[in-house]
Every structure is written in structure tokens, then in C-alpha cells.
Amino acid sequence: MSADACWRCEQCEACLAGEYNRCAQSGSIGLASDGAFAPLVRFPAYCVVPLAEEVSDRAGALLEPLAVGLHALDRVHARAGETVVVLGFGPIGACTAEVASAMGLDVLVSEPGPERRARAEELGYAVHVPEGEKRDGHALGARANWRRRPDRVWTRAACPPRSRPRPT
Amino acid sequence: MTLRGGRIAVVGLPKRPPEIDAARLVLYERSLVGSLGYANDLPRVASMIAAAGWIPSA
């Protein structure tokens, strides 16, 4: 099995609507409580996600970041055959690219870091080197010789490792 | 950044407030949305992996 890292109140309007990520009392295991880098971790029963035998433990360990990517793609109504640009190929960006690719989207990755960019290339993604914060899609598309501009853009902004604010 | 009518999802938490060119959102009728974590998406991902034999390489 795997586990959903979000605990919530299960009583508010958002929770009852199945949108518990918007619960005002929500928090993440590892951020708002002790994390899962311990040998054992305790979490609410509603967090349990049963896994089929076809899902390896390795893949199961990636369910959470992959779900973040899937949710972001849902938020932009991404559909197979469309083009999506992922800005940033960190862990979440990489998982989003993987989900998008599995969904049949044409994925382009823009990543300033050479190591992460190399990883994206290794995985077969078309990559782009951003030259500055002010560059826009016109120059981006022309420089990369992309045939068409993206339908969807998903961006993972840099965030500090600590002091991440709790959702309100 | 996208074609006309394109949609942009922001998932990260910026260190400082980014500049948003509102004119481009209006003139090209783009949409900018936030995406907070997920809700009920883990079973969906697990099903995708099980159904397609998909092995995430990230």
C-alpha cells in the first residue's frame, strides 16, 4: 500500500465535496507532523491507498509527487495530443512530465540547471535552456524551433526547503 | 507563454511575488490557476501504473 500525505478534518464543505486539499485544517505528513523518513510512520486510516500487485514498491513510493503532477494537469484540463511545457525539472516537475507523457501529452521541459536538464534529456524530453526571467514564449518557441506554441504550461516555482506556509 | 486561450498552472510557492503581465492574460485570454497538492489523485495514478505497466522514471 501507499499513503496519501494529506490529513484533513473530513467535516468541512471542501472535505465533503472531495476537495480535501482545500480544507482549512489540512496539513501534510512530513510538514505539519513528523515525516516518513522514519522506519515507521503513523497516519490516519483514510490516507491508505491500496496498491495492485502490478504496482511496484518503487512506483508506489512515487505516488504522492505523481499525484501532484496529475492534479496540476487536471487544473489546466490537459488532454492527450496537446503540448505542455514544464518549467523546472525538479522532483515535482519531473513527476509531472512523467504523468503528462503517460497521458499522451507532448512534453517540453524548460530547466536552467545543467544536471536536471541532462536528466530530462536522458528521459527523452525535448528541453530548453531559459535565458532569463523576462523571456517570453515568442522567443522561447522560435529559439527551440518548436512547431507550435504550447497549449498548457505547468510551472514549478522555486521554494525554500523550510518555512513553507500551511494552507489557509 | 502559451497559445491564445492557453492555461497556466502554478504549483510552486515563489520566494517572492512574481510579476504577472495582466495585459497578456487579457489580450490572449489565457488563464492562470493555482494547483494545491491533490485530492483523490493517488488511486488514479496507481491505476494508471497498474493498467499500463507504466514505470515512472522520475
> What is the pLDDT, as a whole number, of residue B58?
61
Q: What is the number of structural domains in chain A? A: 2
Do residue B8 and residue A152 have CB atoms under 8 angstroms apart?
A: yes
Q: What percent of chain A stands above pLDDT 90? A: 57
User: From the CA of B25, how many Å to the nearest CA of chain A?
Assistant: 13
Per the structure, the complete domain to which residue A54 belongs is given by 2-61
pLDDT digits (tens, 9 = 90+) for A50-93: 999 999 988 898 999 999 999 999 999 999 999 999 999 999 99
Q: How far is CA A27 from CA A30, A61, A87, A159, A164, in A?
A: 9, 19, 26, 17, 11
Give the distance, in angstroms, between the CA of residue A87 and the centroid of all CA atoms in the same chain.
Answer: 11
Q: How many domains does chain B have?
A: 1
A125 occurs within a structural domain: yes
Mean pLDDT, chain A, whole residue set: 82
Q: What pLDDT does residue A155 have? A: 64
Answer whether B27's CB lies under 8 Å from A136's CB: no
Q: A150 and A82: one domain? A: yes
Is the same domain home to A84 and A47?
Answer: no
Q: What is the pLDDT of residues A89-110, one digit of tens each?
A: 999 999 999 999 999 999 999 9
Residues A44 and A91 reside in one and the same domain: no
Same domain, A77 and A48: no
Taking 60 as the threshold, does the pLDDT of residue A140 lie above it? Answer: no
Predicted local distance difference test score (pLDDT) of residue B52:
77
Q: Which of A61, A92, A112 is the last residue of a domain?
A: A61
| pLDDT greater at residue A147 or residue B10 | B10
Answer whether B50 sits within 8 Å of A54, measured CB to CB.
yes
Q: Is residue A167 assigned to a domain?
A: no
* The predicted structure's pLDDT at residue A145: 42
Residues A90 and A14 placed together within one structural domain of the fold = no
Residue A74 lies in a domain: yes
Mean pLDDT by groups of 10 residues along chain B of 58 residues: 90 88 94 94 93 73
In this structure, the answer to whether residues A148 and A95 fall within a common structural domain is yes
Instruction: Pick the more confident residue, A151 or A4.
Output: A4
Report yes or no on B2 lying in a domain.
no
Is A82 within a domain? yes
**A103 and A26, same structural domain?**
no
Q: What is residue A40's predicted lDDT score, i.e. its pLDDT?
A: 86
CA dihedral of residues A77, A81, A87, A88 (deg, nearest 10): 110
pTM, two decimal places:
0.81
Q: Based on the domain organization, do A123 and A52 belong to the same domain?
A: no
Domain residues for the domain of B31 are 7-52
Higher-scoring residue by pLDDT: A53, A149: A53
Bridge partners, residue A23, by sequence? none
Q: Is B49 on the interface with A (CB under 8 A)?
A: yes
**B9–A75: do the CB atoms touch at under 8 Å?**
yes
Helices assigned H by DSSP within B1-58: 22-27, 42-52
Task: CATH number of the domain at A112, please.
Answer: 3.40.50.720
In-domain check, residue A25: yes
Let me know if residue B26 belongs to a domain. yes
A152 touches chain B (CB under 8 A): yes
Q: Are residues A80 and A51 in the same domain?
A: no
Say whether pLDDT at A26 is over 80: yes
Q: Judge whether B1 lies within some domain.
A: no
